[in-house]
Structure 1
Amino acid sequence: MDPNETLERQCADAWPPVAEDKVGDWRLRAAGGFTGRANSALAIGDPGVGVPEALDRVCDFAHVHAVPPMVQVVEGSRTERAIEAAGWVPHVQHAKGHLVSVLVSPLTDGAAHAREDVTIRSAPTPAWWELAAGTAEPGSAQRHVLTTGEIGYGDAASGAGAVRAAVVEDVLHVSCLAVRPEHRRRGLAKALLAASGAWAAGRGATRCALQVSVDNAPALALYAALGFREHHRYRYWIPAWKDRSL
């Protein structure tokens, strides 16, 4: 499999939907509308049918699970060109940004950024939920997506910061990194990432991956300073008729 698609598969395994089906290698996913990744078809590999037919099945699956039809595809790939030729359009109004950079870095010794007030827990605390997911009372879809798998929940004292660390094969997948405004620029984000790396290394991870909208300049700058580089980009696409209804 193409290296970009291999990493996409690993990242998808770290972010499991509530409902999933397949069209060939494509993954059809739904999670009650919680996040684009968990509610889109991951269009990697061979769908086993023509792309127009595969897209019809994406729409059918989305209709059954009451989510808008959408695909996630590696930017510049042959599959993306086929999706465009089938009449779909980039979902430029996607709330979190329709074009996403997938960043990677080897796991390195994070001792320089370690802090005693940062802990990786085996279960999320109410403070973690509030900061990482925006609610102290997450719904069933949020709980499923964020707690399924080999997960570590990083938090800082007094709920100042949070991060989700998931290990899939040799990859640490980082998400939900958040620091409260009054605690920023104190090295807390770096400490959360360092703690995640140490936790993941003990579970066989050798590299780290994360996904950031290309419009999120502060996050991109932070990760660049920590040695992350862009591996590839992916983009969300929707049917043209859906674009006209937005």
Structure 2
Amino acid sequence: MHRTETVELLCADAWPAVTEDKVGDWRLRAASGFTGRANSALAVGDPGLPVAEALDRVCEFAHAHDIPPVAQAVVGSANERAIEAAGWVPKTDHAAGHLVSVLVGPLGTGADGVSFLPEPSAAWWELAAGTTEPAPAQRHVLTTGEVGYAVAEITAGAVRAAVAGGLLHVSRLAVRPQHRRRGLARALMAATGEWAAGRGATECVLQVAVDNAPALALYEALGFREHHQYRYWVPACEDRSL
């Protein structure tokens, strides 16, 4: 099993921000506000500075890129404890859920009715990103790297698959409401597994908000288990309207 820090770094590689910098091992990321993961400091490893000073750097980077300062830290880690001690608080207003379960599981097999597109179509963008005209940051985050764009039954469902360091990172799994409860989510997961196995992946990882019970139930049925959790943190006095 991969170490927690390794999993977080590989997930970050599979979900690249538009702009990145570093403070020691920490990654500072910005992508015009598109997703928390691409617009936060990944606080894993040694920042090379006292954590309070590293958080000042996080704030400086965020303000320079017109995004609110946010730190992503593994729950229960030394970094998270130090971030809390520095006066930061959980970002409970994060739209997608500030507390996230990172799940690992086997690669799926036996896909049927799923195809991979050479590049994302308008229908794929609509399902995966909620728009047929993605902004530059959306294009960068979702299409950079070794990425596959799977669709089920033409455009009934879609998913993003990315391989980084032997891990398949799955995200943006979506099925149109009128096509749900037909096994398309399972078919998409199976297809991504077969696609990723051909590119050297041996295991799958994905991230789900802890309050997303339907998704957690699906992935548990597919053999996934929780590897760890992470949480988003913000300065207590920060103006969150930025």
Structure 2 unaligned blocks of 5 or more: none
Q: Cα distance, 1:121 vs. partner?
A: 1.9
Q: Which residue of 1 aligns with 2:217?
A: 221
Hey, what's the Cα distance between the residues in 2 that align with 1:92 and 1:135? Answer: 26
Number of aligned positions between the proteins:
241
Q: Cα distance, 1:72 vs. partner?
A: 0.3
Give the letter aligned to residue 6 of structure 2.
T
Q: Cα distance, 1:244 vs. partner?
A: 8.0
Q: Which residue of 2 aligns with 1:12?
A: 12
Q: Which residue of 1 aligns with 2:207?
A: 211
Q: Cα distance, 1:191 vs. partner?
A: 0.3
Determine which of 166, 182, 188 is the counterpart of 1:170. 166
Hey, what's the Cα distance between the residues in 2 that align with 1:157 and 1:90? Answer: 40
Hey, what's the Cα distance between the residues in 2 that align with 1:56 and 1:162? Answer: 39
Per-residue CA distance 1:188-232 (angstroms, 9 max, x = gap)? 000001000000000000000000000100000000000000000
Hey, what's the Cα distance between the residues in 2 that align with 1:140 and 1:83? Answer: 32
Determine which of 155, 176, 190 is the counterpart of 1:180. 176
Hey, what's the Cα distance between the residues in 1 that align with 2:239 and 2:71? Answer: 13
Hey, what's the Cα distance between the residues in 1 that align with 2:222 and 2:45? Answer: 32
Hey, what's the Cα distance between the residues in 2 that align with 1:52 and 1:82? Answer: 8
Q: Cα distance, 1:106 vs. partner?
A: 2.3
2:20 equivalent to 1:23: no
Stretches (4+) displaced over 3 A: 243-246
Hey, what's the Cα distance between the residues in 2 that align with 1:63 and 1:187? Answer: 44
Q: Cα distance 1:65–1:223, how it changes in 2: closer, same or farther (>3 A)?
A: same
> Identity percentage over the alignment?
72
Q: Cα distance, 1:123 vs. partner?
A: 0.9
Give the letter aligned to residue 163 of structure 1.
V
Q: Which residue of 2 aligns with 1:115?
A: 112
Q: Cα distance, 1:243 vs. partner?
A: 7.1
Q: Cα distance, 1:120 vs. partner?
A: 1.6
Secondary structure of residue in 2 paired with 1:211: strand
2:63 equivalent to 1:69: no
Contact 1:89 1:243 in 2 (8 A): no
Hey, what's the Cα distance between the residues in 2 that align with 1:243 and 1:186? Answer: 44
Secondary structure of residue in 2 paired with 1:159: coil
Give the letter aligned to residue 236 of structure 1.
Y
Hey, what's the Cα distance between the residues in 1 that align with 2:165 and 2:22? Answer: 21
Contact 2:68 2:240 in 1 (8 A): no
Per-residue CA distance 1:156-203 (angstroms, 9 max, x = gap)? 234110000000011000000000111011000000010000000000
Written as runs of structure 1 = structure 2, the 5 A alignment for 1:1-246 is: 3-108=3-108, 110-111=109-110, 114-116=111-113, 118-242=114-238
What's the TM-score, normalizing by structure 2?
0.97
Per-residue CA distance 1:113-163 (angstroms, 9 max, x = gap)? x213x1122310110000100000000000000000000001123411000
Give the letter aligned to residue 90 of structure 1.
P
Which has the higher mean CA deviation after the structures are superposed, 120-129 or 67-76? 120-129
Per-residue CA distance 1:23-68 (angstroms, 9 max, x = gap)? 0000000000000000000000000000000000000000000000
Secondary structure of residue in 2 paired with 1:63: helix
User: CA RMSD of the aligned region, Å?
Assistant: 1.3
